[in-house]
Structure 1
Amino acid sequence: MIADLKPYPEYKESGLPWLGQVPEHWEVRRMKLLIREIDARSKTGKEQLLRVSRV
């Protein structure tokens, strides 16, 4: 499937050393500006914990 994907016509530097180049039309944004925190407590205590830190 990946072999069938065509490359984007132009790329630019993302400004993030670990990411490298991204397609020219992409926007690079801080994740913390795109998400919001939801404090939803467990009702039974049996649900699996999901934690995201340093965002």
Structure 2
Amino acid sequence: MFLLQAIENTKNNTQNNSLGKEIAQWIFENPIILLVSGVVVSVGFVWILTKVTKQIRTFGE
């Protein structure tokens, strides 16, 4: 029963996902945007990682 509802919900959400797929395809087809978005994600990850390590180092002081 739940599996059938999940399949129906997936079929109904395909129209909503089409915009996301178009944006992802546009980003993938433009190498400059792909490169910039990769750099932003990498810098964000490193920034979060440094914040976490600083919290671990200063824990208990």
Q: With structure 2 as the length reference, what TM-score do the two structures score?
A: 0.27
| Greater strand content | 1
| Greater helix content | 2
Larger radius of gyration: 2
